[in-house]
Amino acid sequence: MKYKLKKISGDASFREFYRLKKNNKTSIIVSAKKEKFKNLAVYAVINNILNRNRINAPKLLSNHYQNDMIEISDLGEKSFYDHVISKKNKLNSYKSLIKLLINIQKIKVKKLYKFEKLKIKIPYYTLSNLHKESDLFFDWYLKYVLRKKKIGKIKKIFKSELNKVYKKLNYKNNTFVHRDFHISNVMINKKRLGIIDNQDAIIGNPLYDVSSLIDDVRIRLSNKLQTILFDFYYKNSKLKNDHIKKLKHDFDILSVQRNLKILGIFVRLYKRDNKDNYLKFLPYTWTLIEKRLQNPSLKNLKLLFHKHLPIKKLKKLNKI
């Protein structure tokens, strides 16, 4: 039997990926020494949950956890990004993703899962989680962009307002959330969609993944298309009987929260891990934040940015 092992591009985690070719069949070897529990054990469990609920995700083929690796099925080399980026009319393609997301949100999880002798619980989003994620903006992005000692004071002022904002979220944490649902984490193989990078799944607000998809920093969608997609989700989701303003309220808050986190993560990838390919997304991330800050419920946060962190100025400082 002939074997061929080739390293393939990874993601923002500490994992390494290799495509293993055995004769004419391929699989993926996932290796992780750092954060091994999350990147291998939790990843395998979440993948299994998705597959059991008829959501195409990598299947565990062989387990070598003690040797810091697992083997999973290969969902192919073409991402949804590759599929849609050159299309002029993206609507129907994106509708298929909204339908996939709605099916993901129907998943009900058990209290406890096992991987070997390890016990795994799917956590719930908490107020503390939201703050911990948006803190990345202050601790990484601002620290390296502004390089000012007063960042601690700015962080305190903003965290106080963000705390009020997060407490205004309408929907409870009762929905399966992928937590990084965007076009580069969806693969297409023989017209079948498959979802990857699943280890961060959590039980949270149903609008989180919606904002992650529609306000994706990797691709610029027109305002019209964003609105159409949001309406399509609204009309086809379990929330269709609620007032649309209730959904939009949470969408805007979570979009701002997520994109503040993304600014911090992308700078951290650059400064800590020497991955500079994410920096190109920083200006558009600010554009999305600026757009969602127009929501009246975010008026005070918008004023704080205007006073302490003018967005136009920060956009010019993205060459870090």
SS3 149: coil
pLDDT in tens, 225-251: 999 999 999 999 999 999 999 999 999
Taking 60 as the threshold, does the pLDDT of residue 320 lie above it? no
pLDDT for 14: 77
Residue 47 amino acid letter: N
Mean pLDDT of 9-21: 80
Do 98 and 236 contact (CB within 8 A), yes or no? yes
Question: What pLDDT band is residue 34 in, cutting at 50, 70 and 90?
Answer: confident
| Residues 218 and 163 reside in one and the same domain | yes
**CB-based burial of residue 54 (10 Å sphere; 0-12 exposed, 13-18 middle, 19+ buried)?**
exposed
| Residues 274 and 138 reside in one and the same domain | yes
Give the domain CATH number at 24: 3.30.200
Determine the structural domain holding residue 264 and report its residue range: 80-113+121-316
Of the three residues 73, 104, 132, the one that is the final residue of a domain is 73
Domain total for the chain?
2
Taking 70 as the threshold, does the pLDDT of residue 127 lie above it? yes
Distances (CA, A) of 60 to 44, 47, 49, 153, 209: 6, 8, 12, 47, 25
| Residues 64 and 171 reside in one and the same domain | no
Taking 90 as the threshold, does the pLDDT of residue 49 lie above it? yes
Contacts of 273 (CB under 8 A, 6+ apart): none
The percent of residues in the chain predicted with pLDDT above 70, rounded, is: 98
Q: Which two tokens stand for residue 14?
A: 């500490």
SS3 288: helix
**Pair type for strands 3-8 and 16-22:** antiparallel
Do 257 and 132 contact (CB within 8 A), yes or no? no
| Residues 292 and 267 reside in one and the same domain | yes
pLDDT for 10: 65
| Residues 253 and 306 reside in one and the same domain | yes
| Residues 200 and 293 reside in one and the same domain | yes
pLDDT for 11: 64
Mean pLDDT of 181-207: 95
| Residues 101 and 210 reside in one and the same domain | yes
pLDDT for 207: 98
| Residues 157 and 248 reside in one and the same domain | yes
pLDDT for 8: 86
pLDDT in tens, 267-319: 999 999 888 889 999 999 999 999 999 999 999 999 999 999 998 888 877 76
Q: Which two tokens stand for residue 186?
A: 């969806």
Question: What pLDDT band is residue 22 in, cutting at 50, 70 and 90?
Answer: confident
Of the three residues 73, 102, 129, the one that is the final residue of a domain is 73
| Residues 39 and 166 reside in one and the same domain | no
| Residues 11 and 65 reside in one and the same domain | yes
Q: Give the Cα separation of 182 and 320 in Å (integer).
A: 25
Q: Give Cα 165 distance to the centre of its chain.
A: 20
pLDDT for 132: 96
Q: Give the Cα separation of 39 and 13 in Å (integer).
A: 8
| Residues 55 and 156 reside in one and the same domain | no
Of the three residues 73, 98, 129, the one that is the final residue of a domain is 73
Nearest of 23, 27, 24 to residue 6 by alpha carbon: 27
Question: What pLDDT band is residue 146 in, cutting at 50, 70 and 90?
Answer: confident
Q: Give the Cα separation of 320 and 148 in Å (integer).
A: 14
Do 204 and 166 contact (CB within 8 A), yes or no? no
| Residues 7 and 107 reside in one and the same domain | no
DSSP 80-141: HHHHHTT-S--HHHHHHHHHHHHHHTT----S-EEETTEEE--PBP-HHHHHHHHHHIIIII
pLDDT in tens, 62-111: 999 999 999 999 999 999 999 999 898 999 999 999 999 999 999 999 99
Give the domain CATH number at 136: 3.90.1200.10
